[in-house]
Structure 1
Amino acid sequence: MVRILYIEDESEIGSWLRKDLEERGYEVTWLKSGEGMGKYLGDSDIAILDVMLPGLDGFSIGKRMKKERDDFPVLMLSARTAVEDKLEGLSFADDYLTKPFQPDELAARIEVLLRRFQKNDQVLELHHLNVHTKDMRMADRDTGQEIQLTGKQYQLFQFFIRHLNQILTKEQLYEGVWGEQYIEGDKTLMVHIRYLREKIEKNPSRPEIIETIRGIGYRVRG
């Protein structure tokens, strides 16, 4: 599961955004200032920082984070729209998003940064598959044959791998991959999962990799 370190002092914005991010499948640690952030930094995958904070401002906190972990993505949030503020933020941070913003845009930017900073290639063994996590290359371990996924299949499987072992609802999957709100009764997700299973499962009618969690959604176990 992707772990987000979120620092925001405004309670209303903070609780709203944490709830939205958790519904999308992220694990969120929310702090109201930079105090104590050091103990969470090593276990986090990305930071989202508001600029206006009590004590040290977001710019100062972000620079400290980058000094400790230069391979750590930092995304700044701010109501400041002046070019000078954006340039200051982007002098060390990896992205800068101005308020107000749409949560779908923030989620998309998070995924872009996570992909950019995913440097280490790991090989997951999922039943008969070897999956390279960096670029989602996969091969059947029994036959050695490489399995090619199309665009949406690739994005869908990548989302599963980013949230390995987690039960994902249809809403989380649709919003995470298509970037739109799921409408009950829409068969798009179901069709794409069927096509994906046909490519990666030994027996698509009895799937072992993409599990159906009845009444909830789906899960891929690592």
Structure 2
Amino acid sequence: MAVILVVDDEEPIQELLKFNLEKEGYTVLVAGDGPAALTMIEEKHPDLVVLDLMLPGMDGMEICNRLRQNSKYRDLPIIMLTAKGEEIDKVLGLELGADDYLTKPFSPRELLARIRARLRRAKPQTEEAELVRGDLRIDLNRFQVIVRGEAVELTPKEFELLRVLATHSGKVYSRDELLERVWGYEFAGDTRTVDVHVRHLRQKVERDPSNPEYIETLRGIGYRLKE
């Protein structure tokens, strides 16, 4: 799982982010100021940085600018946090190389969704291009699913739902987790959306949707792809 560096001088924010990120399986590093953050990046090589704008001594703008001037860190994903809401701060942060911007107070769920989106975009092209689970083949580059030798057509959300389940087959995902991973922070619906998409997905990939061999329901918990 990815390593996330949280750079913030407020201890409650550090603890909030550390708790929520570790709960998702990320390894979390914490720095309280700019020099400590730059040292940690040099030594620990995090996969993404959550960077507060207002820091003592060296602010987030300067840290972001230094990282982008260094060819080693030009592509390091940076999500900037700030208590300010002025448009000029957002524009400056993005111009200096931040990949995304979130204003405090923020929802941890929203931040997690943005982190996942940035990490997906940062993945090298050499990563696994196909997931094979029994008679189920998922081509991640062509967005194609083949079941028992035949291609099936899925909607984008059905494909992403199947990809999430297949990436960690055997892992049980709650409906809230699937909502967050597939629909993201901008989604305003409820968990019934997940049930509807699972039902449609089963109709397309299962021999008998009433007795699924791939997508298993754990009553009161959620869903998983059978190992």
**TM-score bracket relative to the smaller structure:** 0.7 to 0.9
Q: CA deviation at 1:55?
A: 6.0
- In structure 2, C-alpha distance between the alignment counterparts of 1:197 and 1:18, rounded to whole Å: 36
Change (3 A) 1:181 1:171: farther
Q: CA deviation at 1:106?
A: 2.8
Letter in 2 for 1:170: R
Identity of counterpart residues, as a percentage?
36
- In structure 2, C-alpha distance between the alignment counterparts of 1:163 and 1:61, rounded to whole Å: 35
Q: CA deviation at 1:115?
A: 4.3
Letter in 2 for 1:199: K
Note if contact 1:136-1:158 (Cα within 8 Å) is conserved in structure 2. Answer: no
1:10 corresponds to which residue?
A: 10
Change (3 A) 1:98 1:188: closer
- In structure 2, C-alpha distance between the alignment counterparts of 1:57 and 1:149, rounded to whole Å: 46
Aligned length: 215
Note if contact 1:175-1:181 (Cα within 8 Å) is conserved in structure 2. Answer: no
- In structure 1, C-alpha distance between the alignment counterparts of 2:202 and 2:59, rounded to whole Å: 48
- In structure 2, C-alpha distance between the alignment counterparts of 1:175 and 1:182, rounded to whole Å: 11
TM-score if structure 1 supplies the norm length? 0.73
Change (3 A) 1:151 1:219: same
Deviations 1:77-115 (A, max 9, x none): 112444553343212121122222334443443344344
Q: Which has the higher contact order (CA 8 A, sep 6+)?
A: 1
Match of 1:102 among 104, 107, 119: 107
Match of 2:82 among 64, 78, 102: 78
Counterpart mapping for 1:1-222 below 5 A: 1=1, 3-22=3-22, 25=24, 27-33=26-32, 34=37, 35-41=39-45, 44=47, 46-54=48-56, 56-63=58-65, 65-66=67-68, 67=70, 68-90=72-94, 91-118=96-123, 120=125, 122-134=129-141, 136-140=143-147, 142-143=148-149, 145-160=150-165, 166-178=171-183, 179=185, 187-213=192-218, 215-220=220-225
Note if contact 1:78-1:97 (Cα within 8 Å) is conserved in structure 2. Answer: yes
TM-score if structure 2 supplies the norm length? 0.71
Note if contact 1:9-1:31 (Cα within 8 Å) is conserved in structure 2. Answer: no
Deviations 1:125-176 (A, max 9, x none): 1222222335643223x42x32221243234234435666543222222344
RMSD: 3.5
> Which of the pair is proportionally richer in helix?
2
Q: CA deviation at 1:31?
A: 0.5
Larger Rg: 2
Q: CA deviation at 1:193?
A: 1.3
Note if contact 2:152-2:205 (Cα within 8 Å) is conserved in structure 1. Answer: yes
Tell me the secondary structure at the aligned position of residue 189 of structure 1: helix
Q: CA deviation at 1:57?
A: 3.7
Q: CA deviation at 1:215?
A: 4.4
